[in-house]
Structures are given as C-alpha cells and as structure tokens.
Amino acid sequence: MRGSRARLMPGATVDARSLTAVSGDQVAVPDPGRLLHLQFRRFAGCPVCNLHLRSVVRRHAEIEAAGVREVVLFHSPAEELAPHTTGLPFAVVADPDRALYAAFGVERSPRSLLDPRVWGPIAWAVLSGTWNVVRGRERLPARSPHGGRLGLPADLLVAPDGAVLAAKYGAHAYDQWSVDELLRLAASAAARADARPADRR
C-alpha cells in the first residue's frame, strides 16, 4: 500500500502513544508492566479474523498468565466495530483512517484473498461463522466494509520499553501467529530478560 512506512522488525522501537478502545478505555502502547501483543486484523465482522480471535478468547487466560496483554486493531469505525466486540476479554481499537496501520507498515493487497493458502480457512470461517450468527454469538459484517476486504494481518510483540521483540506481517488474510506461537515468543522473551545481567536491567 502506498504511503505505508517501513515494517517494524525486531530491534525497532515503538513510539509511546495512548489509544482509545471501542469500550472507551485508554490503552497505553507500549504497556509499561507487561508484554504487548498488537494484532492488526481486517474489517469488523471479518470471518477469518473472527475464526482466529475465537482461539485467542479460548486461551486468553494462558496468554495473560504468560505476561502478555492483547490489543486488537481493526480498520473499521468504532460504531461499526462495537457490535462485534461484545464479550471479548481484550481491548479492541478502531482505526478507520488506517493511521496506525500506516505507522506500523501494515498493508493491503489482492493476495490477501487470492493466495490459495487462505481458501480453506475462509471456507471454514464462513461455515462456522454462519452457525455462530444463527446462534446469536456473532454478527454479519457490513456488505461493503469500511476500508475494503483486502487488508493483510500483522502481529507485533512489544516489550515494556517499546522494543519490538518479534513481528509477523501476513502474506494472506489468515497468516498470523497462533496462540502457541505467541506463547513460545513470550516465553523466549521472558528467558532473555531473566538472563540479562542485573546491572543492565
């Protein structure tokens, strides 16, 4: 996407900022007391985003126990996003102007949906999502979602001092860290922190 800044890779530093979640709560980035997992998802009600976030919700207690705070961003307006956030145990941030997406180098591309690796997850996401909509657990996305359907996901793990510890920029719409991958990265970050000499902490 033209206008995006370079991707933030390990060793980069995230500038301190305060984000407003859809709930109205303020979210500090970076989090001063724990690791921060920034998830850049797509549009409100995105089926493959919902499929992934269900796994995060199921294992959220494990993620918190590993010292990680989840913050999830969507390129949808808050009023479009709010109905989809009921019951989510983590902060959800609306970025309809894609300002944060640009600042973190998160792009959009036709390959988000054209990559054959995403077709299976899309089919399963639509099937399971339809069942959840019927049961009233999820809502359908807008027919023409704000920001379009071509967004690519991204994940960043950020230390309390703002250092980017790990990053993944998706090649297609369902290309993100699994919960197991996130927990391994968090454990690795904790081990590195414990191994540092005391006089350098």
pLDDT in 10s for each residue of the chain, 201 residues: 444 578 999 999 999 999 999 999 999 999 999 999 999 999 988 889 999 999 999 999 999 999 999 999 999 999 999 988 988 999 999 999 999 999 999 998 887 888 888 878 778 767 675 655 655 666 655 666 666 778 899 999 999 999 999 999 999 999 999 999 999 999 999 888 777 765 454
CATH class held by domain 17-187: alpha beta
Give residue 115's pLDDT: 85
3-class SS shares of the chain: helix, strand, coil, % to 5: 35, 20, 45
Q: Which helix (H) or strand (E) holds 68?
A: strand 68-74
146-161: b (≥16 Cβ within 10 Å) or e: bbeebbbbbbbbbbee
- Write down the pTM of the prediction: 0.85
Taking alpha carbons only, the member of 60, 35, 33, 11 closest to residue 189 is 35
Give residue 139's pLDDT: 60
Give residue 92's pLDDT: 97
Give residue 3's pLDDT: 44
Token look-up 């369902």 returns 174
Give residue 147's pLDDT: 67
Give residue 141's pLDDT: 56
Q: Tell me the C-alpha to C-alpha distance, in Å, between residue 46 and each of 2, 154, 164.
A: 23, 15, 27
Where do the structural domains in the chain lie, given as residue ranges?
Answer: 17-187
Give residue 2's pLDDT: 43
The DSSP 8-state label assigned to residue 70 in this structure reads E
Give residue 146's pLDDT: 67
